[in-house]
Structure 1
Amino acid sequence: MNQINFIQLIGFGPKGWGLTLLGGAAVTVAVATSGMLLGIVLGTLGAWAKVARRRPLADIADAYTTVVRGLPDLLIIYIIYFGGSAVLTWLKPLLGSTGFVNFPGFLAGTIAIGVISGAQSTEVLRGGFNAVNKGEIEAARACGMRRELRFRRIVAPLTLRYALPGMGNIWLSALKESSLLSVTGLAELMRQTEVGSGSTRLPFDFYAAAALIYFALCTVSTLAIQRFERHYSRNVAARA
């Protein structure tokens, strides 16, 4: 790989693929962020169901985490993408038209990443809650705090403090899982890399560029996660 040719290839000149790759990286971040937000919602509900131990909600949460963590990520993506396409195709005649309908790749990716990260977040948030000193919760209850205020001021911040490292790992996994969404035709980073590789017949150059972009995304994410961890642990460090 010639260094000058590589820079020109991934640059922003007339023959460069820089804008295309950056556009793919932007889609990667967008779908990973959307999926992670959905996963946090699902994880919060799942963790609450397990902690509260209310049947049948706890059984549903157990089944959800067991099934999702037992299936390959790519299989989940296929099920959501092709399953969604089948449902839309089945519904289309009800609207007065026929033909196959593709499920939107971005929506399929968001749901897939959300379902996968949600199962992982359920266990991370449950573990974070169990790590909270129950004496602090009892003290807040003794002071007359209402349940909503107690959750907002005591339970949620302390749970997040213990769960942040695990949630950070889930975010990094979501970034990497987004590369599997190229099978749905979504124009994320890996898909654009495959297109560029096939068009120029320079696969090593493009996959090396993609690796650098993924590394940059993960590095920035890691620094941000570490900053959040320091922020939520500052009082602990001060007391220590």
Structure 2
Amino acid sequence: MEEALTLLSFGENGWGDTIAKGVLITVSLSLATLPFGLIIGFLIALAKNSSEPSLKLAANIYTTIFRGLPELLTLFLVFFGVQIGLQQLLKLMGFDIYIEVNSFVAGMIALSLVFSSFASEAFLSAFRGIPQGQYEGGYALGLSRFQTMALIILPQLIRLALPALGNLWLILLKDTALVSTIGLSDLLRETSIAARVTKEPFLFFGLACLIYLVLAMISSTAFTRIERWSKRGEVQR
């Protein structure tokens, strides 16, 4: 027991510092990915809900690709593909420069693409749950399309899509473990290194499980409170 506490302690003899940094990277990557995934997902849902056939087709192709590809493959395509693409572009311009894409940025882009493809379906279902009369009521009040969307539709949209988005957030939190494959020092990578060096895999991987469960519990509690807050104006039956 004392040996385990020593290994998990902070300082020269323990791995607490590096594991804490890994937790910070995991949480930071998730929080950095979330707004981009939500914005792109919302725009994709708007395109799917549009009457323009070309927009619908482009949005359907986007979601088919990134919902169909494994998350790890998407991550590799972004991390290695962007590097190769930029280098080839610079060669065409006469520059022979080696470019290495930041693993945090690559992870954020890849996870945003995957998250947005699923979030778009959550937003689309929410759009279909809002009666057409809500739009007509906004126009009857003299509101523009943008004002109707921002003031009437969007608040209802968030409330309807929130349960699905909460589930997607938990999936995103777990998917951040994939970035350890491209060298980012997240929670899983740091605990893996500690397990190999100390020959204590059960201790450190068990700690990783516990930390992920704690993060999931905190997230679930936060989303429950947000959902309760979003329904504060509903009539109690």
TM value normalised by structure 1: 0.92
CA contact (8 A) 1:35 1:112 kept: no
What residue number does 1:230 align with?
228
Runs of 4 or more consecutive aligned structure 1 residues displaced over 3 Å after TM superposition: 91-99
Equivalent position of 2:164 in the other structure: 166
Contact kept in structure 1, 2:37 and 2:112, CA below 8 Å = yes
Bigger mean CA deviation after superposition, 4-13 or 174-183: 4-13
In 1: Cα distance, 2:155 partner to 2:122 partner: 14
Report SS of the residue matched to 1:56. helix
Residue 218 (str. 1) matches residue 216 (str. 2): yes
Deviation at 1:224, TM superposition (A): 0.6
Length-normalised TM-score, structure 2: 0.93
Give the drift of 1:41: 1.6
CA contact (8 A) 1:47 1:126 kept: yes
Cα distance in 2 for partners of 1:121, 1:95 equals 41
Instruction: Please give the root-mean-square deviation of Cα atoms over the aligned residues, in Å.
Output: 1.6
The one-letter amino acid paired with 1:130 is R
Partner-residue secondary structure (3-state), 1:208: helix
Q: Please, which of 54, 57, 73 is the counterpart of residue 55 of structure 2?
A: 57
Aligned residue for 2:68?
70
Return 5+ residue gaps in structure 1 as ranges. Answer: none
Structure 1 residues 158-200: Cα deviation after superposition (integer angstroms, max 9, x where no partner): 0000000111111111110000111100111111111111211
Displacement, 1:134? 2.6
Deviation per CA, 1:132-177: give whole Å up to 9, x if none. 1332332222222222221111100000000001111111111100
Taking the aligned partners of 1:15 and 1:120, their CA distance within structure 2 comes to 43
Where 1:179 maps in the other structure, the secondary structure is helix
| Contact map agreement 2:11 2:17 (CA 8 A) in 1 | no
Q: Is the 8 A contact 1:88 1:103 kept in 2?
A: no
**5+ residue gaps in structure 2?**
none
> 1:40 offset after TM fit, Å?
1.0
**Identity over the aligned pairs, expressed in percent?**
33
How many equivalent residue pairs? 236
